[in-house]
Amino acid sequence: MGVSQPTAHGRKERAMIRLLVVYPSLLVASGSTAATFTAPWWLCAPLAALVVLALLDARARWTDYLWLVSALGRIGQARYLRLITPFRHSWCQRTVAYFALRKFGRGRDAHGYFHALGYRWWHLLPDGTFSLGCPYLRPLFYKALFFGTKRRRR
């Protein structure tokens, strides 16, 4: 028995899933890139840094997606709430959880869970952005950028 080669349809589908999983980060990166060319000179460096951070975030979200899909396959979709709870804090993380559960036909469950927690489509920034506990000022935020969302061992 030979190993079957992926079809063109399968490759396109995987590429589309990859784009959909990281689209929030890519949206921030592309907007920051466009703003860099029209911004005053003193704003160019912060906007360029934002582009780099958004691309790092896209990489971290993709690793989160891969981990979550494998964990859902290993543990089972019946206990999905325990797995997606750490992904509730930002739009990028909620998108990862939604598409991972959607792969198993439970995308509406993820949407319903986040909706029950009070998250709506306009909640784009991470929780606590405009408070003293701003996530951008914490080392854990930057650790998540490089290594993905913190996962608990069970």
Is residue 40 within 8 A of residue 71, CB to CB? The reply is no
Query: Would you kindly state where each structural domain of the chain is located, as residue ranges?
Result: 8-147
DSSP state of 43: G
Cα gap 45→73, rounded to integer Å: 42
pTM, two decimals, is 0.82
Q: What is the pLDDT, as a whole number, of residue 9?
A: 59
Q: What is the pLDDT of residues 100-134, one digit of tens each?
A: 999 988 889 999 999 999 998 888 888 888 888 88
Please give the pLDDT value at position 51: 93
Segment 126-154 shows an average pLDDT of 78
pLDDT tens profile 62-101: 999 999 999 998 887 778 888 898 899 889 999 999 999 9
